[in-house]
A = this chain, B = another copy of it.
Amino acid sequence: MKPGLLCIPCTVNAAFDMASRATDDPDKIKRILFEVLNWLPKAIEEDTSPNILHSHAFKIVQQLTGVKDPFRDLKKLSNDTALTVYSDLWNMIEKTDDKTEALRLSLKSSIIGNMIDFEVHGHRFSFEDFLSRIRSYLAEPLTIDDVGLLCENIREGVKVLYLTDNAGEIVFDKLVAKCLREKWGCEVTMVVKGGPILNDATLEDAKYVKLDEACSNLITTGDDTIGVAMDRVSEEFKNELNKADIIICKGQGNFESLIGLEKNIGKPVCYVLRTKCEVVAKSLGVKPGSNVVKFIGKT
């Protein structure tokens, strides 16, 4: 998607955050910020998609600090935190008889997994608080609820390609995969990133949370860009995309990279996300902070 002007301060903020995680050296942080300030206007003029803006800022941080994965500790913490509530949430979904409602619950959980700031929970973490907060979020309706439409398009044997977003959150994505397989009989291929990019889930995270136990197949995009950059992904990913009957696209990064390309993809895409910024919210016609399951059928 095209960037909004809000992507300018947002990318500078993200660059400062990434740089500060990667190094304590003020000279290096300054060099990173100056490079981002210098490069941004050209990238905005070229209508670079927001996920690519943040990905490129991340590359600058990697190159100028030599730190390949500044979010490593955060990702581990996020996974550990999310794992504490996994069984309770799965029990809730498993005992839901209506399989549409079960899928809705799992999708809502996965959106909640995207909205929770795991870092806050690093200190004085309370399992009870965490679970009760999740339960109260689960009780709220979705702002856009196309779960019914999604269910009309799945049945036994349907091949789902599921693009995951962040670490921690993938524990909640695992609930969706398990629900799609056990309640709906779908085949589910889960996709993580091919290398560290922000706090996005990689193969390391997927293995850590045993994502493979819940899905039929686990692959990467073959690339370390936020979302999906079609000119950079692996042949394996393209093959899986071709074989899939339906795509579930999780989070803002994946939304930014696929929205508007559904015609090229040639199969239904279901976007599952919380709108975290004005730019994405506006393109969906909702307010920032909305929880959305948006189904776009064959166009």
Contact = CB atoms under 8 A, between A and B. Distances in A.
A126 interface: no
Nearest to A16: B9
27 contacts: A5-B16, A5-B26, A5-B29, A5-B30, A5-B33, A6-B16, A8-B12, A8-B16, A8-B33, A8-B37, A9-B9, A9-B12, A9-B13, A9-B15, A9-B16, A9-B33, A12-B12, A12-B13, A13-B13, A30-B44, A34-B41, A34-B44, A37-B37, A37-B38, A37-B40, A37-B41, A38-B41
Nearest to A27: B5
A244 to B, nearest CB: 37
Interface in A27-76: 29-30, 33-34, 37-38, 40-41, 44
A29 B4 CA distance: 11
Interface residues of A, number: 18
Nearest to A30: B5
Which 9 pairs across A and B sit closest by C-beta, in order of nearness? Answer: A37-B37, A9-B13, A12-B12, A9-B16, A34-B41, A9-B12, A8-B33, A5-B29, A5-B30
Given A8-B12, A37-B37, 15 more contacts: A5-B26, A5-B33, A6-B16, A8-B37, A9-B9, A9-B12, A9-B16, A9-B33, A12-B13, A13-B13, A30-B44, A34-B41, A37-B38, A37-B41, A38-B41
Contacts of A33: 5, 8-9
A268 to B, nearest CB: 33
A196 B15 CA distance: 32
Contacts of A16: 5-6, 8-9
